[in-house]
């Protein structure tokens, strides 16, 4: 019999009642160290006092008015994003996929408004993930997400990751934009080298294409920069943001330059909930913390500490860990054993990590982790590796 919840997830038999910082407490009272962060969402950890205060204060005032009226907290949040990035304008959404939908529509509209309605095609990369709507599964191009859902939405041309020649060959008369995650998240924490991003920017400028960054997972401090594009100094024309910007409240945003947004006039796009007063209050509170002096330095330091210590874990367990990669607190551990099994074994050590593509487990802890949290995670990862080694030996005997 089907479960009352549509069974699209194979869920762990575990649920949580409370959380504080990077720690979650399950319904049976066990504490877990959360290095998944609800998939890079709980950027400020659980029950952050400043976020709780912002949400409850706004909750007593007004939750929703619709976008038929001005929302001052939204204007403020948009201005702050504009001030801190390449962008001139922002559209708020409730999720990453919706932010991506806005980005895709905006790129097409830009080309159309520039007299090139035929330039609707967007180049994307193998291993990408951009969401689960019909257009974003077409953009991501992963067969397992496309299967059975009818004709793939037209307009996306996928090229192999890191193949500059294939990319150049894929640019045709109908190409209007290139879409990329500066570091692939679901694909297995695969960073795009800086020189490749600079090459993409140059190609876009040469061919009149828009460069779209999907920073849904990499953004808002995750990599130690406000946005990951800053690591290479490359600015996009359009950028999708979500996950960390809401700190757990559903919030996304599509940022753009004035030029890229020139087709998006009144009536061309919309959302009922996007940018509602509750989301805006929380988004502003997240930025209060992330943009405060020293916060991003803390993320960078914790990232460096973890990377160093993870290299030692790799040295101690070469049969389990193949390599460690990533930036800031977006780290991937590529394994020689099954990544799903590893995540289950980590859970037995009361550590949460998240499997991704390329046989990687992702570490996406709250950005507020302490040094003690980082070292505790490393010790639990060591213990997890030891468990897996035991399994390997038993497997060898059997």
Ligand X SMILES: *Cc1c(COP(=O)(O)O)cnc(C)c1O
* Residues that bind ligand X in the complex, under the rule CB under 6 A: 95-97, 100, 129-131, 181, 185-186, 214, 216-217, 242-243
Distance separating alpha carbons of residues 140 and 311, to the nearest angstrom: 31
List the structure tokens of 182: 């500066």
Q: How many CA atoms lie within 13 A of 138 on its CB side?
A: 17
Closest to ligand X by CB, 228 vs 351, is 228
Least distance (Å) from ligand X to the CB of residue 23? 23
End-to-end CA distance of the chain: 36
**Beta-sheet strand order (sheet of 351-352):** 16-20, 23-26, 31-34, 351-352
Least distance (Å) from ligand X to the CB of residue 39? 7
Least distance (Å) from ligand X to the CB of residue 242? 5
Least distance (Å) from ligand X to the CB of residue 12? 19
Closest to ligand X by CB, 97 vs 204, is 97
Query: In this structure, is the dihedral angle defined by the CA atoms of residues 372, 373, 375 and 380, taken in order, positive or negative?
Result: positive
Closest to ligand X by CB, 145 vs 350, is 145
Closest to ligand X by CB, 90 vs 378, is 90
Closest to ligand X by CB, 243 vs 380, is 243
- Residue closest to ligand X (Cβ): 96
Angle at 145 between CA 97 and CA 95, to 5 degrees: 15
Least distance (Å) from ligand X to the CB of residue 184? 8
Distance separating alpha carbons of residues 322 and 339, to the nearest angstrom: 12
Least distance (Å) from ligand X to the CB of residue 308? 26
Closest to ligand X by CB, 366 vs 384, is 366
Distance separating alpha carbons of residues 79 and 111, to the nearest angstrom: 26
Q: Are strands 210-214 and 252-256 parallel, antiparallel or unpaired?
A: unpaired
């Amino acid at each position: 019999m089907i479960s009352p919840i549509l069974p699209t997830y194979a869920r762990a038999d575990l649920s949580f009642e409370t959380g504080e910082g990077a720690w979650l407490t399950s319904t049976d009272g066990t504490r877990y160290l959360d290095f998944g962060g609800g998939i890079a969402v709980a950027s400020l950890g659980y029950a952050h006092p400043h976020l709780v205060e912002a949400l409850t204060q706004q909750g007593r005032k007004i939750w929703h008015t619709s976008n038929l009226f001005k929302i001052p907290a939204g204007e403020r949040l948009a201005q702050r994003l504009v001030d801190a990035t390449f962008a001139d304008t922002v559209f708020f959404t409730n999720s990453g996929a919706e932010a991506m939908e806005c980005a895709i529509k905006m790129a097409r509209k830009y080309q159309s408004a520039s007299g090139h309605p035929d330039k609707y095609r967007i180049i994307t990369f193998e291993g990408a993930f951009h969401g689960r709507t019909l257009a974003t599964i077409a953009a991501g191009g992963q067969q397992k997400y496309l299967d059975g859902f009818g004709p793939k939405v037209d307009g996306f041309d996928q090229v192999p990751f890191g193949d500059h020649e294939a990319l150049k060959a894929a640019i045709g008369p109908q190409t209007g934009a290139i879409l990329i995650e500066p570091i692939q998240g679901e694909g297995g924490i695969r960073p795009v080298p800086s020189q490749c991003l600079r090459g993409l920017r140059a190609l876009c400028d040469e061919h009149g294409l828009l460069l779209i960054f999907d920073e849904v997972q990499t953004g808002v401090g995750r990599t130690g920069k406000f946005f990951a594009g800053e690591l290479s100094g490359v600015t996009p024309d359009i950028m999708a943001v979500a996950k960390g910007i809401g700190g757990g409240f559903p919030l996304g945003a599509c940022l753009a330059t004035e030029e890229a947004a020139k087709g998006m006039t009144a009536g061309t796009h919309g959302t009922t909930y996007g940018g509602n007063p509750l989301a805006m209050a929380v988004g502003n509170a997240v930025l209060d913390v992330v943009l405060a002096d020293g916060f991003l330095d803390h993320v960078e330091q914790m990232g460096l500490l973890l990377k160093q210590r993870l290299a030692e874990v790799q040295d101690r367990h070469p049969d389990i860990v193949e390599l460690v990669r990533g930036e800031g607190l977006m780290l991937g551990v590529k394994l020689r054993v099954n990544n799903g099994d590893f995540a289950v074994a980590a859970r037995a050590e009361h550590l949460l990590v998240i499997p991704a593509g390329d046989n990687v487990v992702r570490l996406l802890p709250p950005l507020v982790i302490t040094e003690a949290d980082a070292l505790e995670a490393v010790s639990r990862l060591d213990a997890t590796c030891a468990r897996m080694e035991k399994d390997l030996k038993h497997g060898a005997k059997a």
